[in-house]
Chain A
Amino acid sequence: MLIAIITDLHANREALQACLTHAEKHKVTRYAFLGDLVGYGADPRWVLDTVMDYVRQGAWALIGNHDAALLQGDGQSMNPIARKVVDWTRAQVTAEQLDFIAKLPYCIEWEDILFVHANAWAPEKWDYIDGVMEATRSMHATRASITFCGHVHMPTLFHISLTGKTGEFTPMPEEGIPLSRQRRWLVIPGSAGQPRDGNPAACYATFDTDSQVLTYYRVPYDAETACQKIIAAGLPAVLGHRLLHGN
Chain B
Amino acid sequence: MNGPGHHKLHSGMEFDGYRLEEKLHTGGMAALWRVTDLRERHPVAQEDGTQLPLIMKVPLLYSSDDPTAIVAFEVEQMIMPKLKGAHVPRYFGAGDFDAQPYIVMEQIAGTSLRSRFEEAPLPIAEVVDIGIRVAHALQDLHRQHVIHLDVKPSNIMFRPDGTVVLIDFGLSRHDRLPDLLDEEFRLPMGTGPYISPEQVLGVRNEPRSDLFSLGVLLYHLATGQRPFGHPTSVAGLKKRLYRDPIPPRNHRSDLPSWLQEIILRCLEVEPRARFDTAAQLALLLQHPDQLQLTARAEKQVQDGYLSVLKRRFQVAGAEPALSQSASDQLSRAPIIVAALDLTGGTEALAESLRNITRRMLQTEPGARLACLTIRKVSRIGMDESLIQQGENIHVKQLVDLKHWARPLNLNPDKITFHVLEAPDPASAIIDYAHSNRVDHIIIGSRGSSALRRYLGSVSAQVVAEAECTVTVVKANEK
Which A residues form the contact surface with B (CB < 8 A)? 157, 159, 161-163, 165-167, 169, 172, 175-178, 180-183, 212
**Is A165 a contact partner of B183 (Cβ separation < 8 A)?**
yes
User: In chain A, what residue has the closest Cβ to B101?
Assistant: A182
Q: Does B319 contact A (CB under 8 A)?
A: no
The complex places the Cα of A167 from the Cα of B77 at a distance, in Å, of 18
The complex places the Cα of A180 from the Cα of B96 at a distance, in Å, of 8
**Is A159 a contact partner of B178 (Cβ separation < 8 A)?**
yes
Q: How many residues of B contact A (CB 8 A)?
A: 20
Chain A residues whose CB sits within 8 angstroms of the CB of B116 once the complex forms:
none
Q: How far is the CB of A69 from chain B (nearest CB, A)?
A: 34
Chain A residues whose CB sits within 8 angstroms of the CB of B96 once the complex forms:
180-182, 212
**Is B70 a contact partner of A167 (Cβ separation < 8 A)?**
no
**B74 in complex: contacting residue of A165, A169, A172, A180, CB < 8 Å:** A180
Q: Does B81 contact A (CB under 8 A)?
A: yes
**Is A181 a contact partner of B67 (Cβ separation < 8 A)?**
no
**B70 in complex: contacting residue of A162, A176, A212, CB < 8 Å:** A162
The complex places the Cα of A209 from the Cα of B176 at a distance, in Å, of 21
Closest 7 CB pairs of A and B: A167-B183, A169-B178, A175-B176, A180-B74, A172-B176, A181-B96, A182-B97
Chain B residues whose CB sits within 8 angstroms of the CB of A165 once the complex forms:
183-184
Which residues of B (346-371) have their CB < 8 Å from a CB of A? none
Chain B residues whose CB sits within 8 angstroms of the CB of A181 once the complex forms:
96-98
User: In chain B, what residue has the closest Cβ to A175?
Assistant: B176
B458-472 near A? 1/0 per residue, CB < 8 Å = 000000000000000
**A166 in complex: contacting residue of B71, B101, B183, CB < 8 Å:** B183
Chain B residues whose CB sits within 8 angstroms of the CB of A182 once the complex forms:
70, 74, 96-97, 101
* A–B pairs, 25, beta carbons within 8 Å: A159-B178, A159-B180, A159-B183, A161-B67, A161-B71, A161-B180, A161-B183, A161-B184, A162-B70, A165-B183, A165-B184, A167-B178, A167-B180, A169-B178, A172-B176, A175-B176, A178-B77, A178-B81, A180-B78, A180-B180, A181-B96, A181-B97, A182-B101, A183-B74, A212-B96
Number of A-B contacts (CB under 8 A): 51
Chain A residues whose CB sits within 8 angstroms of the CB of B178 once the complex forms:
157, 159, 167, 169, 177
Chain B residues whose CB sits within 8 angstroms of the CB of A212 once the complex forms:
96
Which residues of B (160-192) have their CB < 8 Å from a CB of A? 176-180, 182-184
User: In chain A, what residue has the closest Cβ to B82?
Assistant: A176
Chain A residues whose CB sits within 8 angstroms of the CB of B82 once the complex forms:
176
User: In chain A, what residue has the closest Cβ to B183?
Assistant: A167
User: In chain A, what residue has the closest Cβ to B174?
Assistant: A175
The complex places the Cα of A177 from the Cα of B78 at a distance, in Å, of 7
**Is B183 a contact partner of A180 (Cβ separation < 8 A)?**
no
Chain A residues whose CB sits within 8 angstroms of the CB of B67 once the complex forms:
161-163
Q: How far is the CB of B42 from chain A (nearest CB, A)?
A: 16
Q: A180-B74, A182-B74 are known; give 9 further A-B pairs, CB within 8 A.
A: A161-B67, A161-B183, A162-B67, A165-B183, A180-B78, A181-B96, A182-B96, A182-B97, A183-B74
The complex places the Cα of A212 from the Cα of B178 at a distance, in Å, of 15
Q: How far is the CB of B74 from chain A (nearest CB, A)?
A: 4
Chain B residues whose CB sits within 8 angstroms of the CB of A177 once the complex forms:
78, 177-178
**Is A180 a contact partner of B182 (Cβ separation < 8 A)?**
no
User: In chain A, what residue has the closest Cβ to B177?
Assistant: A177
Chain B residues whose CB sits within 8 angstroms of the CB of A175 once the complex forms:
176-177
The complex places the Cα of A212 from the Cα of B179 at a distance, in Å, of 17
User: In chain A, what residue has the closest Cβ to B81?
Assistant: A178
The complex places the Cα of A176 from the Cα of B183 at a distance, in Å, of 20
Chain A residues whose CB sits within 8 angstroms of the CB of B74 once the complex forms:
180, 182-183
Q: How far is the CB of B77 from chain A (nearest CB, A)?
A: 6
**Is B98 a contact partner of A167 (Cβ separation < 8 A)?**
no
The complex places the Cα of A169 from the Cα of B183 at a distance, in Å, of 10
Contact A167/B97 with A178-B78, A180-B74, A183-B74 known, Cβ cut-off 8 Å:
no
**Is A167 a contact partner of B78 (Cβ separation < 8 A)?**
no
